[in-house]
Amino acid sequence: MTADVTYVYPVVRTAAGSDEVARTIVRRETVMSWDDPVKVITEQGTFSLNSHKSDTTNGGCDNLTGYFAPEFSAERAVKGSGGGPEVDLYDRSTSLDARIRETGEAECGTATRS
């Protein structure tokens, strides 16, 4: 079974008087399988995680903390774009594997829409 889900995390700036909303968009693909207890040592009805992939826009480039660090428009204007390819995580015409192969995992891309 494959689950391919896009999550949108809206974040509001905490500064007084600010109503800007930044969105972190995460596309996650999880592949699971229900193993046959006759063939594999497992309990009836349990499943195995085969793979998990994710792709994120506006979550913080080179962010190794495990937390999202979205940038608001003022920070993006100072730093510029991610420098990598433009990415539309809402686009379902391409599988996550193919999208990652096309754009590369090492570069920090720029969201085409949020």
pLDDT of residue 5: 92
The span from the CA of 55 to the CA of 88, in Å, is: 10
Q: How confident is the model at residue 48 (pLDDT cuts 50, 70, 90)?
A: confident
Mean local confidence (pLDDT), 61-78: 76
Q: How confident is the model at residue 55 (pLDDT cuts 50, 70, 90)?
A: confident
The span from the CA of 89 to the CA of 114, in Å, is: 9
Least confident of 63-67, 72-76, 82-86: 82-86
State how far the alpha carbon of 78 is from the alpha carbons of 4, 62, 81, 91, in Å. 34, 17, 9, 28
Mean local confidence (pLDDT), 67-82: 72
- Asked if pLDDT for residue 34 goes beyond 70, the answer is yes
Amino acid at 108: C
pLDDT of residue 106: 57
H helix and E strand count, the chain: 2, 5
- Asked if pLDDT for residue 13 goes beyond 90, the answer is no
Any idea what the Cα angle at residue 100 is, between residues 93 and 63, rounded to 5°?
A: 125
pLDDT, one tens digit per residue, over 16-32 is: 777 888 888 888 999 99
Q: Shortest CA distance to 84 belongs to which of 114, 54, 106, 56?
A: 106
Mean of the per-residue pLDDT values for the chain? 80
Using DSSP, state whether 15 is helix, strand or coil: coil
